[in-house]
Structure 1
Amino acid sequence: MGNNKLKLWLPLIFSIVMIGGMFLGYKMKEKMPVTARFFSAERKGTVQEVLDLISKRYVDPIKTDTLADAAIEEMLSHLDPHSIFIPSSDLQEINEDLAGKFEGIGIEFNIFNDTINVLTVLKGGPSENAGLQPGDKFLKIGDSAVTGHRMDANQVKQLLRGLRGSKVQVTMLRGKEKKELTITRGIIPLYSLDAGYMIAPATGYIRLNKFSETTYEEFMEAMQKLKEDGVQKLILDLRGNGGGILQEAVEIADEFLDGNKLIVYTQGNHIKKQEFRARREGIFEEGKLIVLIDEGSASASEVLTGALQDWDRAEVIGRRTFGKGLVQEQYNLNDGSALRLTIARYYTPLGRSIQKPYDKGIESYNEELYDRYHNGGMMNADSNKMSTGQAYHTPNGKLVYGGGGITPDVFVAMDTTGISNKVAQLYTKNTIGNFVYRYYVDNMDHFKLFANPAGFEKGFDINNSIWNAFAAFALQDSIKINMLSEADKQFTARRLKSLFARQQWRNEGFYEVNNVNDPMVIKALEALGE
């Protein structure tokens, strides 16, 4: 595979890892003030003295806030890759993601040709209650006309979001008809559980995309339903899960481990050793368990996987995880920004530190995944192994290592089908997403004939008519998909089908359809005897 293909595709594969999904710690304090441990009011530090002098004496006008932010970020760059400064402009969205909810109207939207289009509407949410439908176009939000001029997604969010119970008047275009609607804003969940369903007889599947304040609750609701359906074996999919609140991972681990088994412990220079143990009877302490991981699984995902692997409770399938074993605590600062500071390391029950080295600098640290790819770590089992750290033996005698992520028990190579320049362009230009949305809206009545994702998977195919329509649509973006290899065509057709399912049933639909041809899921089912 050439470097050009790599440059196009790998940012998509690793996006979750690179946008900061692993900067999350075990105790996210919402209202923690800056304390005297960090700053003293009695005497100004040198950094503050310099900022004051620049503010009072510098030759040109300058924003000292911008300088201060840059100084803080430079200081943190000399610590570790996961101690970060969060500007006040970003803090609300980050905290909402951790909380697992925000206040708004409950839609997904995209902007096509300077027009805001409704992609999906949250079932039972404020927008559905007000009568919005996929395919609707916004003309006005409140008193603001929002069509015919450029707006970015953040500007639209600012107009749509607001306090629960507040109302927003919108003017929509549905086909050729204008509609005036009033939406009463509410609490909108940010689900961390993408899918939970019976994937085979007596076999359940659960996929978690992060560990927020609601993850354990979502997990238990899904498990209760699976238990009612007779689950005896389980696939827990943590691929691409960059972590989150450690306590949520601990609670889930407790549901799989019996007795008072150690799950994880944390320790730092200023933090005493703190152990987290199983403390109650779990919902799935017996029965075969498979955990799926990849290079995007990090932090709390590694805590959960490490505990289950160390106690021989689960068979781990996939590729070596990211390798993030540092714990952060968030301190809110006086100007509305926040410092997320590494305060401890975490260790698996056997004493493994999962953290990979960062002594060569943050840039080198972030490029480690690319290096792993170039060195074959995602393509063959031997290169995937991490055997330079300290070795440990599980109770059953299995050899495991620390120092650079969690190595799976069974390796599954990255599926490189579809990683051609043209297929990559379908994503970088969002050609495939735009086509799926528009085709779905134009043929909604046909899609509504399918009652659930399982029926859709069996009864819907990407026929020649759909493929030809997609080829004509892609040509507008200068992409000739009929020039694709047969393998790439099959990959793209399967992805189209999965995205149509997502359009109708959100992530649950996507994964239920996509898993049918997912190599790692297939390997897990084989391991379970399905």
Structure 2
Amino acid sequence: MNTRRLRNGLIFLAGLLLLPPTFVFSQSAPNDPVTQESLKFAKIYGLLEEHYAVPVDPDHAIFDGAIRQMLSTLDPFSAFFDRQQFEQLQAQTRGEQLGFGSILYVTPGKVLVLQTAEGSPSWRAGLGPGDQIVEINGERVDRLGFQDLIALLQRSRSRPVQLGVIHPGKVVPQDVRLVPKEIELPTVDNVFEFREQQIGYLHISGFDAKTAQEVQKAIEKLGGNRLKGLLLDLRNNHGGVVATAVDVASQLLGPGLPVLTMRGRGVPEKTYSTVPSKVHFDMPLVVLVNGETASAAELLTAALEEHDRAVIAGEDSYGKGVVENVMPLSDGTGLALTVAQYFTPSGRSIQRKLPGTALADAESGIGKSTHFHTDDGRPLSAGGGITPDVPIPPRRLDPWVEFLNQRGAFTDFASQYLTYHPGVNKSFEPDKDVLSEFRSFLSNQQIRVPLEYWVQDQDYLKLRIKVEVFNLLFGLTAGNEVDIRGDPQVQKALEIFPRIAEILKGPLPEGTKHVKEAAGRNNQNSILLRAGGRQ
């Protein structure tokens, strides 16, 4: 999102709303629609201020009421930010957050540390996975209701805090004082290799100013072009800084290829293309997406798909193809306003139509085209979002295991299990004895164990127990890797790599030919001929 100065008309509108009603109506106002509608609003607000039963708070009435409601009638993406929200948004764009650098597991009466960021206040104080926080600024955690506990944690993260912490294997709390600081939040949050296949795995949670550098370092750490493939996981990536997504595309595509075109009523049309990069990764690529893959993540996915660089797998993406300019206002507030629409290299829009909003009739493509194809001629879906080349449904959970997850049963059991079994190491695999112990734990917690679900969920129960044991013993990164390796979507995506060339070569609509293949017959320098491919 680009930060720009507020347009003169909007500055005038904001100034007008703050003028006393007597001054506003004593002047001869311009007759343009913006001014006339503003005068109506100012008159109504003047009547409220003069006659309402109790004094009116201007900030609440205008910012929380009128402005937010006005924006909500446009689309779900335009928004007003108060001072605190705008500061958080700016920090998020920088990839920073004020806090202690720890990830916590919170249930009623219990707070466990799952991970601390290296160099953070928590890390420097010696906190680590499995530590239990029993006291916060003199208040006992086990005596607080859940909502009170959450509120206390939220208040505490922005100011110095005194904690009582019990380390694993200990019974006496240790006093720990933490002072918050700006913590860098990595967006490449899971990186590892499937060594047997020599395929790297990389998950990007969002795009901020540092993401491209993180991607480069992560791929190089995995072995770079030595890899036989890269699984790029963009599931649950809601987007972020579009320019950063273009930088990532530059590492995976050749220079000079279009990534997106931006068009808007008040924004000059502009095409963003890949640029020469310090590194270029050309290993086979599969991109995994789902219904929470949105915005900049969809644009990166579309560019890799339309330039025939990657096979897209998973579920249909979200379908957000508009850009918001974030504009700073007075008093540290801000406005995010939808100002343009994005189009992919082929000219299609990924914006899904939103009935009842200003985006109900969003353009389907540049020039109102409805037929799109990749560089090599493969047809592409239109109408919002990205339809994967290889659909892979997610794991379906039955109501019983969903209840166990919501209840935090696996984490609570893992904490108890590690107390009774202190010698657990990375070779740990839940067996029938562990499951028997888990079943007894559920009974003691008065949680029913339906025989039907117990039998059919054995593999999932073992996976979740192992994940939580690793979270508490080795940290969230180790637990996430266990979870990802056991994810059926990831397992199915790995099976695609031997078929990438086949998938990228078709099928095509009747009567058409592969563009690159046809070019190869007329140009001895074609990619296919240089690679020795079949015509």
Asked if these proteins are the same fold (TM beyond 0.5), I'd say: yes
CA gap 1:481/1:240 in 2 versus in 1, 3 angstroms: farther
- Tell me the amino acid that sits aligned with residue 485 of structure 2: V
CA gap 1:429/1:140 in 2 versus in 1, 3 angstroms: closer
Distance 1:309 1:65 in 2: 47
Distance 2:94 2:420 in 1: 36
Distance 1:114 1:517 in 2: 31
Residue in structure 1 matched with residue 163 of structure 2 by the alignment: 170
3-state SS of paired residue (2:8):
coil
Of 238, 246, 251, the residue aligned with 1:250 is 246
CA contact (8 A) 2:353 2:359 kept: no
3-state SS of paired residue (1:484):
helix
The offset of 1:120, in angstroms, is 3.0
Alignment of 1:9-408 (within 5 A): 26-27=1-2, 29=3, 34-40=6-12, 43-44=16-17, 45=38, 46-68=40-62, 69-138=64-133, 140-141=135-136, 148-150=143-145, 151-162=148-159, 168-174=161-167, 175-200=170-195, 201-227=197-223, 230-281=226-277, 283-361=279-357, 390-408=370-388
The offset of 1:217, in angstroms, is 1.9
CA contact (8 A) 2:129 2:473 kept: no
Whether 2:395 is the aligned partner of 1:415: answer: yes
Distance 1:332 1:306 in 2: 31
CA contact (8 A) 2:78 2:338 kept: yes
The offset of 1:248, in angstroms, is 1.4
Distance 1:477 1:333 in 2: 54
| Identical counterparts, % of pairs | 27
- Tell me the amino acid that sits aligned with residue 462 of structure 1: P
3-state SS of paired residue (1:341):
strand
Distance 2:59 2:242 in 1: 33
3-state SS of paired residue (1:103):
strand
The offset of 1:392, in angstroms, is 0.9
Moved more, 112-121 or 309-318: 112-121
The offset of 1:253, in angstroms, is 0.5
CA contact (8 A) 1:262 1:278 kept: yes
TM-score (norm 2): 0.78
CA gap 1:389/1:403 in 2 versus in 1, 3 angstroms: farther
Q: What is the CA deviation profile of residues 167-203 of structure 1, one whole-angstrom value per residue up to 9, with x for unaligned ones? A: 6543434443132233354432322112112213432
The offset of 1:343, in angstroms, is 0.9
CA gap 1:518/1:329 in 2 versus in 1, 3 angstroms: same
Distance 2:280 2:132 in 1: 46
Residue in structure 1 matched with residue 404 of structure 2 by the alignment: 426
Distance 1:389 1:435 in 2: 56
CA gap 1:127/1:329 in 2 versus in 1, 3 angstroms: same
- Tell me the amino acid that sits aligned with residue 436 of structure 1: A
Gaps of 5+ in 2: 18-37, 362-367, 500-535
The offset of 1:141, in angstroms, is 4.4
Distance 2:447 2:267 in 1: 57
Distance 2:126 2:440 in 1: 33
Gaps of 5+ in 1: 1-25, 366-387, 451-458
3-state SS of paired residue (2:252):
coil
CA gap 1:439/1:337 in 2 versus in 1, 3 angstroms: farther
CA contact (8 A) 2:261 2:345 kept: yes
- Tell me the amino acid that sits aligned with residue 405 of structure 1: G
3-state SS of paired residue (1:469):
helix
Distance 2:320 2:456 in 1: 35
Q: What is the CA deviation profile of residues 487-513 of structure 1, one whole-angstrom value per residue up to 9, with x for unaligned ones? A: 323223222223333344545323422
Whether 2:425 is the aligned partner of 1:468: answer: no
CA contact (8 A) 2:211 2:244 kept: yes
CA gap 1:198/1:136 in 2 versus in 1, 3 angstroms: closer
Higher relative contact order, chain-length normalized (CA < 8 Å, sep 6+): 1
TM-score (norm 1): 0.79
The offset of 1:484, in angstroms, is 1.0
Residue in structure 2 matched with residue 3 of structure 1 by the alignment: none
The offset of 1:266, in angstroms, is 0.9
3-state SS of paired residue (2:498):
coil
3-state SS of paired residue (1:415):
coil
Distance 1:210 1:230 in 2: 26
Whether 2:447 is the aligned partner of 1:478: answer: yes
Q: What is the CA deviation profile of residues 340-360 of structure 1, one whole-angstrom value per residue up to 9, with x for unaligned ones? A: 111111111111100000124
Moved more, 254-263 or 115-124: 115-124
Q: How many residues end up aligned between the 2 structures?
A: 464
Q: What is the CA deviation profile of residues 79-121 of structure 1, one whole-angstrom value per residue up to 9, with x for unaligned ones? A: 1221122344444444433332223222222444445443333
